[in-house]
Amino acid sequence: MDEAYNELRWNPLIGAWIVVSSKRRGRPWREGVCPFCPGAPETGFNWRVLSLNNRFPALRLDARTSRSSRDIYLVKPAYGYCKVVVETPEHQGDLDSIPFNDLKLYINELIKETRELCSDPNIQYVMPFRNKGEEIGVSLIHPHSQIYALPFIPPRIQVEMRNMEKFWKERGECLLCKILSLEMNERERVLYFNDSFTAFLPFFAMWPYEVHVYARRHLGCLCELDEKEVEDLADAIKVVTSMYNNLFDFSLPYMLVFHQRPCKVSADYYHFHLEYYPIHRDRDKLKFAAGIEWGAWTFTYDSLPEEKAAELKAALSRGLEKLSSSGYRIKGKAI
């Protein structure tokens, strides 16, 4: 089949849509002229942060299916948007090296895109995320994030919503606010906090150096952040990323995902947060999600979260020192 098809296929075993894109395998892989640098055909000049349409989208407005549904084999067009947010004109770098004002522009760009994409009546969920490193499968090294605007609420978010709503109804409080309270009380896994956000390695971490960043105020999505919270989120992202890049003697690969309330659901119980998933379990070892993780969705943790938190605290100290020596003014405190 030479034609491009973008479709959703229903997996009846787990009750989730699979996004099928027949032409994404043709996207560029770390070669040729960078399409995100200033002066490229899609970017032009005189910008600091830039949103672009993904040239190889998994979802698209004119999506076509390769076949029709048959019985429980459901197929429908993969309607949606795939955006790229170019974070800096510089060809290399990370979220700890981007100028702080540009980092605030980046967050405001995510807010703007979330608001615009959610206004489409067919879009149910907007998820910004960032993949970093060849080990993660990043095809272009120029610093960038992505945004997927989906016509359904993804399974992971559905599970979060179900558990947050249950806790809200049974306990009369927010689940993530409770987690944050417990973490701040124990303090052993808390890494950094400022006026608006707290970063910690959760009690229930699945990845060895996983870090969550929770809004300290109960809010549901990016669009609810005020100006001070945008600034503090930029600070938390900068600090956590610097911590990761000072954990070992190399720039650490990771995934960063923004978890926010769905577009069309009035879920007062949902709490906005970020989750970092680095894939290393040691300096020269990767954490592979293997049989039990994929087959059972049950993660194994080959250490104690408290031990890994101690390693991150030491890396955080080095990261804060490096940021301070570069002239950056730290806005929060390490624990």
Active site residues: 144
Dihedral angle over CA of 264, 266, 271, 274, nearest 10: 0
With DSSP H G I counted as helix, E B as strand and the rest as coil, what are the percentages for the chain, rounded to 5? Answer: 30, 20, 45
Environment class of residue 66 by beta-carbon count within 10 Å: exposed (0-12), middle (13-18) or buried (19+)?
Answer: middle
What b-and-e string marks burial along 207-230, b requiring 16 or more CB atoms within 10 Å of the CB?
Answer: bbbbbbbbbbebbbbbbebeeebb
Q: Residue type for 199, please?
A: A
> Is the separation of the CB atoms in 251 and 185 below 8 Å?
no
Six-digit token pair at 66? Answer: 């390769």
Dihedral angle over CA of 259, 262, 265, 267, nearest 10: 10
